[in-house]
Chain A
Amino acid sequence: MNKTRIFHFYFLFSERRSMKTLLERYSDSLLSGLDTIPKKMDLIVKAGKALAEAKLAGGRLLVYDRNYSLSYDCWTRGSGLYSITVYRRIEKAFKDGDALILASYHEGAPDDLIVARELRAKKNTRLVTISPHAGKNKSGELIHTLADVAIDNGCDESAGAFDIAGVKGKVLPTAREINFTINWSVQCEYIQEMIDHGCPPTLFYLVHFPYFKEMDAVMKKRAEKYGY
């Protein structure tokens, strides 16, 4: 293929790309990202099992992401798990046997690495990471290399944000939505695994529903008694 043809193809490709709106590009990218999740089900199932294994052995279930976005989507979330808690915001230190879901938009952010190492400094811990595995970070350690189960969110270091002519900087990342979906998918597997072991996890009742206080009191007692 000569240079003229290469340029011709590049020109056509660029033209086609530029014809798509940001709305179309965002929608396409989001759907493509969601489409990759079923292909990672082996890891998602494995992650759910690892978390359940830790819980059944008496460990705690924790979640952490640097901006607490995903963490707060789990913690005291109506219809979510009663026993999950947020590292650093709620629990200040790891213990032996803990299991952590560590979500990130980066491969090797120093803060994420600190958290992963803090967990790994304890005995019998399980680490599930949801992060990019794009391989761009050649210089340092990558958080997914520290994990028992490492799930690639398929995004790049810009968290799946878009370069748009007329916009300064990359805009509208998709990684948050992908990470959220992977996280809840993992938790679905965890719930099923716990049920299969005869330990159906306690759910957080809906704060805004009638009889919340009464239901919550029951759920709290149950969670305290059984630990899950």
Chain B
Amino acid sequence: MGAEDAGELLPPASLPRRMPGETGIWVLVAGDLAVFSIFFIVLLVQRSSDTALFVASQRSLNQIIGALNTFLMLTSSLFVALGVGSIRSGSLARRRAPYFIATAAVLGLGFVLVKAYEWSERFSVGQTVGTNDYFMFYFMYTGIHLVHVVVGLIVLALLFMVSRRPSLDQGAVLLIESGGIFWHLVDLLWIILFALFYLVT
């Protein structure tokens, strides 16, 4: 039993329910979502007390760049999902996993670069975290999200290295799943941030 590749022993997608990844990652996800949920609510509550300011300030944001970032995040998540899926598919498919994960990481890095460019544009016209309430929220929330992205990239680097091993035990598979779930969380948070900051007027 011990020498077998645990990845091939896990149930395929059509079989009964199992918890993806390790339980701990879901504790992290729940906590993070709880915190960000409060962030979202606070943002909208604050918006109600100065709606005109929020609407006016929002016009400075570049929706195209925001959409580009959303596309990068979603596609990156897709590649992580493909990587995790291939891990469970038997040794031949598994060899593609590092490529999937590497692609996801490159896209994630692209997200960071686009955001850096976007922020520099804001700075160049004098908009920073202290400019007004809207920009305080914008820079703080997307900044905290950016920290998540950077942590996620480090996680992806780890997953990349683990996925290159010739055989993966149960622990390695769970690790890769858990790392993937964290990255999807980062994607998920951005989807909502994008909607609230860039699209709601």
Q: Do A and B come from one complex?
A: no
Which B residues are closer than 8 A to A by beta carbons?
Answer: none
Which A residues are closer than 8 A to B by beta carbons?
Answer: none
